[in-house]
Amino acid sequence: MNVHDYEKLWIGLSMVLIVLFIGSITYGSVVAGVVMIDDAADPVDPDALGDHPDFGDPGVTQTGEDTYEVHVVAFHPGFNPDVIEVPANSTVTFHVTSMDVIHSFSIVGTNANSMVIPGEVSSMTVELGAPNRYGIVCNEYCGEFHHLMEGELVVVPEDEFELEADE
């Protein structure tokens, strides 16, 4: 089979390019430590979230000096809780699940973006800096009021932060 010289060169360059792309993604995963949403959390029963130890009473809990966990339940069309308050300069892990259809949990202007699938839990950890306000949207169509589905992440100064008293 006769392959033109330019063609050989092109194929060679294409392969180099492909390997470079794969390499840079691998670098992002292995060295820069960008973790993917995965199957780490156990499945949950979307019909019985009320009885779930964490999703039964969603919200913010403190797990360490500067670390917090937030459990969020997505439903059509909203998030529970819809306003999430966390202190500045903290590490926050979100655990999100759905009680009905597929949604997303996407903090606008950040990399925190995940599908939310009934029966599964999406966990993502973010480092928060200075006080700020971020919008949260659902970017997966979930029903006729999908466009009304939004929430807010409020990063408050550390000295103003108070955990909501748990009943």
Catalog residues that contact Cu ion under the rule CB under 5 A.
Answer: 103, 138, 142, 146, 149
The reply to whether 93 sits near another protein by the rule CB under 8 A is: no
Closest distance between Cu ion and the C-beta of residue 116, in Å?
Answer: 9
62 binds another protein (CB under 8 A): no
Count residues contacting another protein (CB under 8 A)?
71
According to DSSP, the β-strands at 91-98 and 103-107 are unpaired
Distance CA 167, CA 57 (A): 10
**DSSP bridge pairs for 106:** 113, 137
Residue 118 CB contacts under 8 Å (≥ 6 apart), including other chains: 46, 97, 98, 99, 100, 101, 102
How many helices and strands in the chain, by DSSP H and E? 1, 10
Rule CB under 8 A: say whether 11 interacts with another protein. yes
Q: Give whichever of 121 and 142 is closer to Cu ion, judged by the CB atom.
A: 142
Strands (E), 76-112: 78-80, 83-87, 91-98, 103-107
Among 61, 62, 80, 123, binds another protein (CB under 8 A): 123
Question: Which residue number, 147 or 164, has a Cβ lying nearer to another protein?
Answer: 147
> From the list Cu ion, another protein, none, which binds 39 (C-beta under 5 to 8 Å, kind-based)?
another protein
With CB under 8 A as the contact rule, the residue among 88, 91, 152, 156 that binds another protein is 152
Q: Dihedrals φ, ψ of 101, to 5°?
A: -105, -170
Q: Does the footprint of another protein cover residue 116 (CB under 8 A)?
A: yes
- Which residues lie closer than 8 Å to 57 by C-beta, 6 or more apart? 71, 166, 167
Which lies closer to Cu ion via its Cβ, residue 138 or residue 155? 138
74/92 with CB nearer Cu ion: 74
